[in-house]
Chain A
């Protein structure tokens, strides 16, 4: 079964979801990311959903919780790389991610973080 990959780029965690995230993996996600975030003192977490073929309400809720936990740990969550067909389906389903920031790709997400970091200085 495909699993979640977590890598770190200059203080930013990149969490990559597989094509289909099973419930067990989704439930472990918050714990795994939280541990790595604290270990690496990451300032932001990019949640890369570009491989995800579907985001149902269960996974949507997990992503919302993940973003909430990341914020509480003092880092900035950004969901990146959502496929257009997944976005269309989520809207029709009536689901949103609770106001978490999104970006077109990892690259756009990183650029957005740099801009926001610059404004804070």
Chain B
């Protein structure tokens, strides 16, 4: 059962996580990522989706292909309407957590990415873009 890309999945509680991992797994496989990159992709998706569950309670992920400079890859965009991050610089440091996590989610996912963007406005929400190119 292959879903179409792009696709958007809602993330509202822990029960949303398996569907996100499955969809990212399928999208990555269809692009032909190697085993290590596929594992990084699924792990990063799990971290970023869980961040939404832990801190924003309601959001979504859009899974789409990305192309440029002769490369193909996968772009995951996580958006939420949660409280936002007041100190983004601090949130990107290892071990910084305001809640239940290990504080690895954002900086860890950034290290797994080839391209990573984050934009957050307190009271409005957070948007994280994760891109992995096929090598």
Residues of A within 8 A of B (CB): 20, 22-24, 53-58, 60-61, 83-86, 88-89, 92-95
- Using Cβ atoms and an 8 Å threshold, which residues of chain A touch B94? 94
- Secondary structure at the B interface, as helix, strand, loop or mixed, is helix
Quick check: A85 and B39 within 8 Å, CB to CB?
yes
Quick check: B107 and A94 within 8 Å, CB to CB?
yes
Contact of A22 among B17, B42, B102, B104 (CB under 8 A): B17
20 A-B interface contacts by CB (under 8 A)? A22-B17, A24-B14, A54-B42, A56-B43, A56-B46, A57-B47, A57-B101, A57-B104, A57-B108, A61-B102, A84-B36, A85-B35, A85-B36, A88-B40, A89-B112, A93-B47, A93-B104, A94-B107, A94-B108, A95-B102
Number of chain B residues close to chain A: CB under 8 A: 24
Looking at A54, A60, A86, which has the most chain B CB atoms within 10 Å of its CB?
A54
User: How many residue-residue contacts, CB under 8 A, span A and B?
Assistant: 65
Chain A residue at smallest Cβ distance from B54: A58
In the assembled complex, the Cα of A55 lies from the Cα of B47 at a distance in Å of 10
